[in-house]
Structure 1
């Protein structure tokens, strides 16, 4: 063996001594539904460039972010040719324009929120801004939070308002695992702010936007419709510490530590909160939503829309079934990489593809937003 290889193996062996690799907590195995479960799928919007987030406005309009820095307007099911707004982003790797959110009191407070990557003085950061809605376009209003460290990979990027009308923001640890455990860092966290960017008085840490920590690259948020509990999707390791896979679904507890990089999977260690789902093969889950009581999760490499059935069990949840829709196996799906899934005002699901992100195989018309109608 070459000395360099021996050195690398020794490093991984050393690190592994200080890292706990847990098991998958769910007792069920994934089942495949290549055509979904009694649904009809059609293309709603096509010819997008790496769409990341979709939001619907109360007046019937919709907005979709494209990672190179454009917010696009959809009216009456048609994509407007001119951007609603263009933002000067640092479109590099996984960075660029990412999550969108709508003020919970819209249109009385006509604001849209956006998270994006930017560069200044040769350094990369992420920020969340507020945008004033003007109907056909949006204009910058204010910065909500800034100076979140950014990088080519692991920027997080999902923003959503919770039932408490607070803004939740996911941030990645930019491949620097120690940041996830550092409460003085904004990275590897879920942050919580008021709609004006203030720190809520009931946040778990004094004068801090941090709501939970120990996250690697969180990309999805969804609240259970009955309990109000917050669920989160998170990407597991892709080579760090010699580990791969172990993507997660977590139930978020205020102030909770979710283990990265000290624990992978369900480690069962005091002081850390275990995920309710772990996929040992790389799945990476992204945007997600609850629909008719089930959790739907868009996934990237596995190219599946995953439906997870959960039941409240004590203080946590028991997973009773996991279905992989539109997938033939854990690497091939009908529609390619899926970035986000949302419920539309018509009661149907809408799914965004991410086939033009440099990791997919674009088909004619990509990227697309698919409309999923459940048959009666």
Structure 2
């Protein structure tokens, strides 16, 4: 009898463990739509698993450590905060997290350096991309190839003395242009990159300081990895997916609903757009106080936006129709200073970069890369 009871208890425990594992259907070709359907939800704060390698898992965002107490202040480049992955960097322009979830490639905006970072390990220089950082430009976008595990390729958005462009970076090779000739100007040269669910590159370009931006400026482009227009764009043969951007800070894609969001500094206000083909409709969210929206992360029931000027992380919760519900949250206010780049990791954690050396109040270990557990998603409809 005792043996049967123990076997039944073990089976029940195994069932509970299996029920907690999420599965995701294979993604097919992207179907652009204004209505969001089938959005799931996170059932509560996920338990951060122990990583398979020595670097410790990050505690929940907004907490200073597992005990909830503030860690000691940094000394030089040594930062005891368990959420800090890398220190003493230049202002961070972009982050791309590698498939192991504990290593990332970090782009410094003004130097053009790309470094491999991992907690407890000295940053390793991968390559340096020549950039012109005037007018807010430099190295501001970085993504892994859609087939990175096989080809080890990177794509970056950079400003040169002549233009803004997308370049491809292969191991032990210099950058090669993929899409050049994007207009540059005295301001608003920064751009952002993301990989669409069908493997296309999404490229958000600034308006180069022109209220009527010419050519590919002020647009959201959708191209293949060779720089050619992707099929399904509004105008066949054109790389333009959407128009109406000014100074984009980040692109984020919900991996379940495939909804795409882009942050933008639109002059009189900061905005968050839900991307649709053609001219962008009125923003889904606005910030009249202009907190300096930058990189973002999207997952079911959650959008987290890094804010540079406000030195915080702003959290919105869209429901399954893309309508925001509940009260927005502002997290990490002043904890790490001016937040810029944001990137999701395969394990669901959120990586952030700072730009405190560019207009902030840097501590000895700035600029830094941080790895946190995002807040739980939501997305329930209101009655």
Pairwise TM-score range, normalised by the shorter structure: 0.7 to 0.9
SS of 1:80's partner is strand
In structure 2, the residue matched to 1:254 is 277
1:217-366 equivalent positions in 2, closer than 5 A = 217-237=247-267, 244=268, 246-255=269-278, 257-258=279-280, 273-291=281-299, 293-313=301-321, 316-327=322-333, 333-357=334-358, 359-366=359-366
Superposed CA RMSD = 2.2
In structure 1, the residue matched to 2:99 is 58
SS of 1:340's partner is strand
Name the TM-score, length of structure 1 as normaliser: 0.74
Contact 2:94 2:341 in 1 (8 A): yes
Give 4+ residue runs of structure 1 displaced > 3 Å after superposition: 35-41, 373-376
Q: Is there any run of 5+ residues in structure 1 with no aligned partner, and where?
A: 1-34, 238-243, 259-272, 328-332
SS of 1:317's partner is coil
2:242 and 2:120 mapped to 1: Cα distance? 37
1:158 and 1:88 mapped to 2: Cα distance? 17
1:85 and 1:204 mapped to 2: Cα distance? 36
Contact 2:206 2:248 in 1 (8 A): yes
SS of 1:107's partner is helix
SS of 1:347's partner is coil
The structural deviation recorded for 1:151 is 2.9
Q: Of 130, 137, 140, which aligns to 1:95?
A: 137
1:282 and 1:374 mapped to 2: Cα distance? 23
Name the TM-score, length of structure 2 as normaliser: 0.73
The structural deviation recorded for 1:254 is 1.3
Contact 1:39 1:372 in 2 (8 A): no
SS of 1:221's partner is strand
Q: Is there any run of 5+ residues in structure 2 with no aligned partner, and where?
A: 1-59, 66-81, 377-383
* Larger gyration radius, structure 1 or structure 2: 2
SS of 2:136's partner is coil
SS of 2:326's partner is strand
Q: 1:374 to 1:92 in 2, by over 3 A?
A: closer
Contact 2:97 2:343 in 1 (8 A): no
Q: 1:74 to 1:323 in 2, by over 3 A?
A: same
Q: Of 158, 166, 174, which aligns to 1:128?
A: 166
Normalized per residue, which structure has more strand?
1
Q: 1:91 to 1:156 in 2, by over 3 A?
A: closer
Deviation string, structure 1 residues 112-166 (Cα, Å, up to 9, x no partner): 11111111xxxx4111111113xxxx42363110011123421232111011110
1:10-29 equivalent positions in 2, closer than 5 A = none
